[in-house]
Chain A
Amino acid sequence: MTTTTAAPAAVSTPVRQRSRFVPRGLAPGRLGAWLVLGLVIVATVFPFYWMVRTSLTPTADLIADSDRLFPTDPTLVNFRRVLGLTTTEEAIAAGGTGASINFLRYTMNSFIFAGSVALTQTLSCAAAAYAFARLTFRGRDGLFVLIIAGLMIPGIFTLLPNFALMRELGLLNTMLALVAPSLLVTPFAIFFLRQFFLSLPRSVEEAAMLDGVGPLGRFWRFALPMSRGPIATMILITFVGMWKEYLWPLVAGNSESTRVLTVGLSVFQQQSPNTRPDWTGLMAGSTLSVIPVLIILIFLGRQLVQSLNFSGGK
């Protein structure tokens, strides 16, 4: 980076937000900085653009269009066939293998899986986090440390016995088995929400206590409503995390009725011939897995970014 020393000006500018430079003019350093940033943004977005572009390309044009930024003859047939909305003959004609692929179902499963875990887990962890932040009881700190230690355990270590457990209970390939391990708790959520409850002013709860409101009432009627923002953020983060989840749904729920989008995509890829992969169909499926997070990003991106500020800044 080049140096643009603007010492006297920097002093006279009012500080609106901590630690932000207040730059003036288009110094060469600033131009270079924008150039690098622009490059990063293009590199970030382009692969997704290419995914969408490919999903809209007829399989017959795949090679001819391989260096074109726009499909010459855009079509939605790839989406129709991966969603199971075409007949087998049509799907084969459009470049599929004809094997049954039902992304409509997988998408629904993903929503049920990610949605139910996000809601239940956040509520359960909020309750626990409140107890850790505000209530006094024996063994509190030890218990908290034990739960946080769970953050250090690589998932595969508990995944193997959890798989054995689900197998013994005869729950493999049910939605219950998919959600069970994460339905009630994850150490990160307890950590994050406890941190937030600690930063909440005590005065409201103290006033409620003087009015005779018990601990449960203080949590449910005061602390919880006051934390709507962070709780919504936690639900969002959990939803995204579950939406991305792959290994557990792969081993515990890889049957047609419980298959989620990520597993569906990988099964689809394995069915597609190695020598000539069904790229248009695969990209249509991938696009389906990106759409929900894209919607989240467009409408709630600000909240997500600010939640990072919260967890990174503390």
Chain B
Amino acid sequence: MTRLLETSTDHGRRSDGDDGPDGPVATRPARGGRRKEAWAAAILLLPALFGFAVFWIYPTIRGTYYSMTDFNLLREPEFIGLENFRQIASDPQVWSSLRITAVFAIANIVLVMVLALVLAALMQRLNLKTWLRSVLLLPWLVPNVAIALIWGWLLDANVGYLKNLLDSVGIGGVTFYNPKAALWIIVMISVWSGLGYTALLLYAGMLQVPAELYEAGSIDGASETRMFFGITLPLIRPVIALVLVVSFIGSFQVFDLVQVGYGNNPIPEVRVIYYYIYQLAFSFHRMGYASAVSILLVVLLGALTYVQLRIMRANRSDLA
């Protein structure tokens, strides 16, 4: 692809106002053509916008309204103002589940990120074949429900293969339902299932780093470790930022592993926020309160994402 095309990608979102004097002439339709374009756009957008309006915007409005009601699905929602939010403030389960989720998210992200960076650097170093790379993608493709079951079996208290293996090397107590270990087991499972995927994303970023930089580095006698920290890491920062933000939002939504793994045998130590909201809505039928807690989650995630993007300066690439 030519350089010209690449730049036109970056500036693809041109304003729809006046035609600049140096704009590509052929893409600017005449006045009649522009009206025709607007019609065509409406037709092309119709299905997606319909879906977006009905299943994204409408529920957003409705959910916000529910958060200010007492609603159990059977009666009409009853407006109670900010009562639900007042209740959240004094509901220890909200805060404990948020704390558990935060611990999970931070541990998960830090571990995945560090391990994935090492793995990606190894892939780059060894020029790993595509089929071997795709093997690493396997856990990411498998439903979390199956993953929860597989690990539940590997760590079965009686005959779990991995549990016995760990026992035999002196690491005891790593059983699925051990309350002290449970949260860390979930962290470990999610690191295991997200590692390959994250490493491949980072590896893709590493492929964009110009080889000349490494050549220059080695001429200057820089070690590989030094080049990793001095060249690779700073240059793939936008990819790292993207992965961080995405996995942060994802980690806060951990649910399947907990619900499938521990739904039968609830352990308070693993009650994450999604699971609590799910229980509120579908076990206790407190839709209004559940909506209020999920609004809290929306606001919290929005704020944290904003902070992350600011810190990482994600939109600025040193490679540009």
Contacts and interface: CB of A to CB of B under 8 A. Distances in A.
A206 B47 contact: no
Given A161-B63, A183-B51, A244-B142, A216 B40 contact: yes
Interface string A277-314: 10100110110011001101100011011101111110
Given A21-B127, A161-B59, A246-B256, A128 B119 contact: no
Contacts of B274: 154, 156
A22 B164 CA distance: 42
A140 B290 CA distance: 34
Given A3-B224, A10-B214, A165-B59, A125 B146 contact: no
A19 B214 contact: yes
A11 B215 contact: yes
A127 B224 contact: no
B184 interface: no
A137 B134 contact: no
Contacts of B146: 51, 262, 265, 285-286, 289-290
A37 B66 CA distance: 50
Given A20-B127, A41-B136, A5 B48 contact: no
A79 interface: no
B51 A184 contact: yes
B125 A21 contact: yes
A140 B16 contact: yes
Nearest to A3: B223
Contact of A279 (B5, B131, B153, B204): B153
Interface in B195-228: 195-197, 200-211, 213-215, 218-219, 221, 223-225, 228
Interface in B285-316: 287, 290-291, 294-295, 297-298, 301-302, 305
Contacts of A289: 142-143, 145-146
A190 interface: yes
- SS of B interface (majority): helix
A155 interface: yes
Given A19-B208, A283-B149, A10 B8 contact: no
Contact of B36 (A157, A214, A265): A214
A301 B131 contact: yes
B96 interface: no
Contacts of B218: 5-7, 10-11
Given A11-B219, A160-B291, A199-B1, A286 B265 contact: no
B277 A156 contact: yes
Contacts of A62: 159
A279 B204 CA distance: 39
Interface string B250-290: 00110110011001110000000010011001100001001
Given A150-B52, A156-B278, A201-B5, A37 B122 contact: yes
Given A7-B219, A215-B40, A125 B204 contact: no
| Listed residue (B9, B142, B158, B274) with the most chain A CB atoms within 10 angstroms of its CB | B142
A158 B294 CA distance: 9
A50 B150 contact: yes
A269 B264 contact: yes
Contact of A54 (B143, B153, B290): B153
A18 B207 contact: yes
A244 to B, nearest CB: 4
Given A21-B124, A181-B55, A312-B204, A209 B26 contact: yes
Contact of A136 (B37, B49, B118, B259): B37
Given A157-B295, A164-B62, A262-B143, A30 B305 contact: no
A216 B12 CA distance: 20
A15 B211 contact: yes
Contact of A154 (B29, B211, B301): B301
Contacts of A210: 26
Interface of A: 1, 3-7, 10-11, 15, 17-23, 29-30, 33-34, 36-37, 40-41, 43-45, 47-48, 50-51, 54, 62-63, 66-67, 124-125, 127-128, 130-131, 133, 135-138, 140-141, 143-144, 147, 150, 152-165, 167, 180-185, 190, 194-195, 198-199, 201-202, 206, 209-210, 214-216, 219, 240, 243-244, 246-247, 251, 261-263, 265-266, 269-270, 274, 277, 279, 282-283, 285-286, 289-290, 293-294, 296-297, 301-302, 304-306, 308-313
19 contacts: A5-B223, A7-B218, A19-B214, A41-B132, A45-B135, A62-B159, A127-B45, A137-B37, A157-B297, A181-B51, A202-B27, A214-B36, A247-B255, A266-B263, A269-B264, A289-B146, A297-B141, A301-B135, A311-B204
Given A11-B218, A125-B48, A164-B62, 14 more contacts: A5-B224, A19-B124, A36-B118, A156-B278, A158-B56, A161-B63, A161-B66, A185-B47, A202-B26, A206-B27, A246-B145, A262-B143, A302-B134, A305-B137
